[in-house]
Chain A
Amino acid sequence: MSVREADRIIPVTTGEVSPQPQERRSVVRPKRWKKYEALIIGTSSVVGVLTVWQLVANARIWPPLFLPGPLDVAPAFVKLFEPGGDIWIDIATSGQEIVIGYGMAIVIGLVLGLLMGWYTRFQYALDPFVNFFYSTPRIVLVPLFIIWFGIDMPSKIAVIFLGALFPIIINTMAGVRNTEAALLRVAKSFGASDALIFQRVVLPGSVPFILTGFRLGVGHALTGVIVGELIAARHGVGQLIAIAGQTFQTPKMFAGVILIAGTGMLLTATLQRVENRFQSWRPQIRR
């Protein structure tokens, strides 16, 4: 439509302009390195920050105990994985806690979110609880869970579950609620059954919201597992950091932090990819 109008631009000629054929500027083709631009700039920026960090650490304004440099942290990280350490037990413990807690949160959060979005009365019934828990930092429940479930995995699973559950419920519900009225009208006009509307219109339309909920849940799950383990645990990456901190092994602490941050980034990036896959129908934004 607007293209058609653009095609009809009328050339304005004045006597002063020489009738020479106008030179056409070539269409700008992106340079080859443009593709790697994000990677190059990102890497340089990380390297830059690490260098500054090392330089500041080398200046020894503070003792290494207070601020180790990247060159201190890297060996500590490698050392973590040396045979004889408990690292694999820690990772397995934290990993299991996350998989079980987050897995339960996904399943139950999805079901409750869909039900609450679809049945208004169900939402009325559960809203007080969702609001209560969503607006409370679920971390405050850790001491209670330790009394109830002990210091081992179940208490952490409970914290992770509650942490991840509510962002998933709320986003899933929002997805169902945000179904475009025009689409519902079309489906109803063609006499679609409620089941069909849910399955073919509401559910696919909610997918971006649901995946956002999953992604937010990852952050809450990681917070839950680490804080839970910091407070009381026998094993786990959080416990590793807690012990390293209490025994002034600062580089080891940093190594633990990097391990967790890496896990978080990996999970989030994976979910981001899934999200992008489900949105292949969205036209790409050209910059």
Chain B
Amino acid sequence: MKLVSRGVCIEYWLARSQKIFTAVESVDLDVRDGEFLAIVGPSGCGKTTFLNAVDGLLPISAGSLALDGVEIRKPGPDRAMVFQQPGLLPWRTVLGNVIFGLEAQGRMGGPDMVDRARQQIEIVGLQGFEDAYPLELSGGMQQRVNLARALLTDPKMLLLDEPFAALDAQTREMMQLELLKIWNRTRKTALFITHDIKEAIYLADRVVVFTKRPGRVKVTVDITIPRPRDLRVKRDPQFLRYEDEIWESIQEELAGPMERLIAEIPA
């Protein structure tokens, strides 16, 4: 087991309403070594909050969360996050931004670092853009920089927070395909958050469905579609069965509040 989450609960204080807000309640979840695990769930179910806790950005209020047997308390070089928003320094070139992850970890060093950064840029398909500034790049290219920055730190575990959510449909599919290609080379343990069911099935070995807030693990679906997967598997009958199964499961979560909303509408 790589990541072990037992009874993880995340709460925080809401200043405006003076209340404790429970984002995630008692999450039991394991991510195996070398596994690609995707978490899906209705929006606002706390999946991103959970990922932030794994990254060490948020403290957990109960339970235990450990990576390779070491309790997670703060961000560390054993994890690297790919963010939903690229979060690139606009005054730095692509190369400068890709290096920033290592730099922030205090692991700057060696002339081979630049070589490795260039190599990483090539892997994510940005060769020739090393000296471009982020604002000169399209959204998809910015996300490639975001990915390269995380990969260059060579983490034990890669955390991805809806990295393709803000991209248009075609770019998103291309990015999924390329992410899988890159992942196939390293087989790095990955935890991927998304609200896109197809994306989760296409990428992952297992898909975990979260309940609505406060988020808990509702069901885990093993995806046995063989790798390497090309984009055509998305129209495979087996793929569609997974999609139905997961969609049903999420729909149950959505149905509650919606029906209640409708019931509240005065006749």
- Chain B residues in 8 Å Cβ range of A282: 90, 135
B87, A191: Cβ atoms closer than 8 Å: no
Among the listed stretches B21-29, B69-77, B206-214, which one makes contact with chain A, having 4 or more residues with CB under 8 Å of it? B69-77
Interface residue B100 (Cβ < 8 Å from any Cβ of A): yes
Among the listed stretches B136-144, B179-187, B241-249, which one makes contact with chain A, having 4 or more residues with CB under 8 Å of it? B136-144
Q: Which positions 127-141 of chain A face chain B at CB distance < 8 Å?
A: none
Among A182, A191, A200, max chain B CB count under 10 A is at A191
Given contact pairs A182-B83, A185-B87, A201-B89, A1 touches B138 in the complex (Cβ within 8 A): yes
Q: Which residue of B lies closest to A200 (CB)?
A: B103
B89, A204: Cβ atoms closer than 8 Å: yes
Provide the B75-104 mask, 1 if CB < 8 A to any CB of A, else 0. 111001101010101111000000011011
Interface residue B224 (Cβ < 8 Å from any Cβ of A): no
Among A193, A200, A281, max chain B CB count under 10 A is at A281
**Cα(A189)–Cα(B58), bound, Å:** 10
B91, A281: Cβ atoms closer than 8 Å: yes
A191, B133: Cβ atoms closer than 8 Å: no
Pick from B80, B85, B91, B168: contact of A190, CB below 8 A.
B80
**Cα(A90)–Cα(B159), bound, Å:** 66
**Cα(A187)–Cα(B149), bound, Å:** 11
Q: Which positions 243-287 of chain A face chain B at CB distance < 8 Å?
A: 278, 281-283
Given contact pairs A187-B104, A189-B75, A182 touches B87 in the complex (Cβ within 8 A): yes
B104, A191: Cβ atoms closer than 8 Å: yes
Q: Which positions 152-202 of chain A face chain B at CB distance < 8 Å?
A: 180, 182-183, 185-193, 196, 200-201
B75, A191: Cβ atoms closer than 8 Å: yes
Interface residue A34 (Cβ < 8 Å from any Cβ of B): no
B83, A1: Cβ atoms closer than 8 Å: no
- Chain A residues in 8 Å Cβ range of B134: 281
Provide the A188-226 mask, 1 if CB < 8 A to any CB of B, else 0. 111111001000110011000000000000000000000
A283, B135: Cβ atoms closer than 8 Å: yes
- Chain B residues in 8 Å Cβ range of A204: 89, 91
B81, A189: Cβ atoms closer than 8 Å: yes
B135, A1: Cβ atoms closer than 8 Å: no
A1, B168: Cβ atoms closer than 8 Å: yes
Nearest-Cβ distance from residue A253 to partner chain B, whole angstroms: 46
A185, B57: Cβ atoms closer than 8 Å: yes
**Cα(A89)–Cα(B134), bound, Å:** 51
B103, A1: Cβ atoms closer than 8 Å: no
Interface residue A4 (Cβ < 8 Å from any Cβ of B): yes
Q: How large is the interface on A (under 10, 10 to 19, 20 to 34, 35 or more residues)?
A: 20 to 34
Pick from A185, A205, A281: contact of B83, CB below 8 A.
A185
- Chain A residues in 8 Å Cβ range of B170: 1, 4
**Cα(A205)–Cα(B134), bound, Å:** 14
Q: Which residue of A lies closest to B171 (CB)?
A: A1
- Chain A residues in 8 Å Cβ range of B105: 190-192
- Chain A residues in 8 Å Cβ range of B106: 191, 193, 196
A183, B136: Cβ atoms closer than 8 Å: no
**Cα(A205)–Cα(B90), bound, Å:** 9
Interface residue B153 (Cβ < 8 Å from any Cβ of A): yes
Q: Which residue of A lies closest to B136 (CB)?
A: A283
Given contact pairs A182-B85, A204-B89, A281-B133, A190 touches B138 in the complex (Cβ within 8 A): no
Interface residue B55 (Cβ < 8 Å from any Cβ of A): yes
A191, B76: Cβ atoms closer than 8 Å: yes
- Chain A residues in 8 Å Cβ range of B135: 281-283
Q: Which positions 99-138 of chain B face chain A at CB distance < 8 Å?
A: 100-101, 103-106, 133-136, 138
**Cα(A201)–Cα(B92), bound, Å:** 10
Nearest-Cβ distance from residue A17 to partner chain B, whole angstroms: 31
Nearest-Cβ distance from residue B226 to partner chain A, whole angstroms: 31
**Cα(A283)–Cα(B135), bound, Å:** 7
**Cα(A199)–Cα(B55), bound, Å:** 23
**Cα(A190)–Cα(B97), bound, Å:** 13
- Chain A residues in 8 Å Cβ range of B136: 283
Provide the B45-77 mask, 1 if CB < 8 A to any CB of A, else 0. 000000000010100000000000000001111
- Told that A191-B75, A193-B106 touch, could you supply 11 new A-B pairs with CB distance under 8 A? A1-B140, A1-B170, A182-B85, A186-B87, A188-B75, A191-B105, A192-B105, A200-B89, A200-B103, A201-B89, A281-B134
28 contacts between A and B (CB under 8 A): A1-B138, A1-B140, A1-B167, A4-B170, A180-B87, A182-B83, A183-B89, A186-B83, A186-B87, A186-B104, A187-B104, A189-B57, A189-B81, A190-B80, A191-B76, A191-B104, A191-B105, A191-B106, A192-B105, A193-B106, A196-B103, A196-B104, A196-B106, A204-B91, A281-B133, A281-B135, A283-B135, A283-B136
**Which 7 pairs across A and B sit closest by C-beta, in order of nearness?**
A190-B104, A192-B104, A186-B87, A281-B133, A182-B87, A191-B75, A1-B168
